[in-house]
A and B are shown apart, each in its own frame.
Chain A
Amino acid sequence: GQNIDQPTEMTATEGAIVQINCTYQTSGFNGLFWYQQHAGEAPTFLSYNVLDGLEEKGRFSSFLSRSKGYSYLLLKELQMKDSASYLCAVRDWGQTGGGNKLTFGTGTQLKVEL
C-alpha cells in the first residue's frame, strides 16, 4: 500500500514563503495531487504533477521528483486566508482499482501569522 508522510503542522508569517513537503511510497506511481482544505469545508484542488519538475500556478507551485518519492507545495506571498490544511494525495497503478482512486496523506495544518 501507500505510505504518505507530511508534517503535521507548520507556522509562517504573512508575506513570507513556505514549503510543505510530502514523501510517498508506491508500487506504480501515476500522479500526485495537492488539495487545500479550510476548517469545516471540503478540499479544493490545487495542483497535479505526474512528471518530474515544477508546476507553477500563481502564488502556488508544486514540485515532483519521482525517483525520490518526493513532492513539495510552495506558497509565496502568504496571506492570512492561506491558513488551512494542505493534503498530499497519490494515485498508484499498483493497487487494485488504482487508476481510479487516490490515497491521501493526513494533511499539514498551516497557520499564517501577522
Chain B
Amino acid sequence: SQTIHQWPATLVQPVGSPLSLECTVEGTSNPNLYWYRQAAGRGLQLLFYSVGIGQISSEVPQNLSASRPQDRQFILSSKKLLLSDSGFYLCAWSVRGAKNIQYFGAGTRLSVL
C-alpha cells in the first residue's frame, strides 16, 4: 500500500533563516506531488505541484521554492523565512488517472518568530 512521509511535524524558525521541508512517497511510481499551505482558519492554498522529476509548477508568487530531485521526493525550501510564511504545510500525492484523488501527509506546523 502507498504511504506518504512528511517531516518534521513541528518547526519553529527565526525570521530570515532558511527552510527545508521534505516529503517522500512509498508504494507507487511517478506520482503527482503537491505542496499546500493552510493559514490559521483559512482554506488550503496550493503552492506547487509536480508531475515528474524536475517538473515544478508554481501557483502563487512567494518566498518559497520547490524541487523534485527523485521520483518520490518533494522538497519545499526558502532561503529567508518571513513572518507571513507561518502556517500548516501539507504534502500530498496522487496517481494520475480518471479520479486522481489526492492523499495528504501528516503536515508540518511552521512558526516563524
The judgment on whether A and B are partners is yes
Q: List 19 interface pairs A-B (beta carbons < 8 Å), by A numbering.
A: A33-B102, A42-B105, A42-B106, A43-B104, A44-B104, A45-B101, A45-B103, A48-B101, A87-B43, A97-B49, A100-B32, A100-B49, A100-B51, A100-B100, A101-B46, A101-B59, A103-B46, A104-B44, A106-B43
Residues of B with C-beta under 8 A to A103: 46
> Given contacts A48-B99, A100-B51, are A42 and B34 in contact (CB under 8 A)?
no
Residues of B with C-beta under 8 A to A41: 106-107
Q: Are B43 and A102 in contact (CB under 8 A)?
A: no
> Given contacts A31-B99, A97-B49, A97-B57, are A104 and B104 in contact (CB under 8 A)?
no
Residues of A with C-beta under 8 A to B90: 42-43
Residues of A with C-beta under 8 A to B99: 31, 48, 50
Q: How far is the CB of A41 from chain B (nearest CB, A)?
A: 7
Per-residue 0/1 for A13-55: is the Cβ within 8 Å of any B Cβ (1 yes, 0 no)? Answer: 0000000000000000001010000001111110010100000
Which B residue sits closest to A96, measured CB to CB?
A: B57
Residues of A with C-beta under 8 A to B51: 100
CA A45 to CA B103, docked complex, whole Å: 7
Q: How far is the CB of A92 from chain B (nearest CB, A)?
A: 12
Residues of B with C-beta under 8 A to A48: 99, 101
CA A93 to CA B32, docked complex, whole Å: 16
Which B residue sits closest to A42, measured CB to CB?
A: B104
Residues of A with C-beta under 8 A to B94: 100
Per-residue 0/1 for B91-113: is the Cβ within 8 Å of any A Cβ (1 yes, 0 no)? Answer: 00010101111111111010000
Which A residue sits closest to B44, measured CB to CB?
A: A104
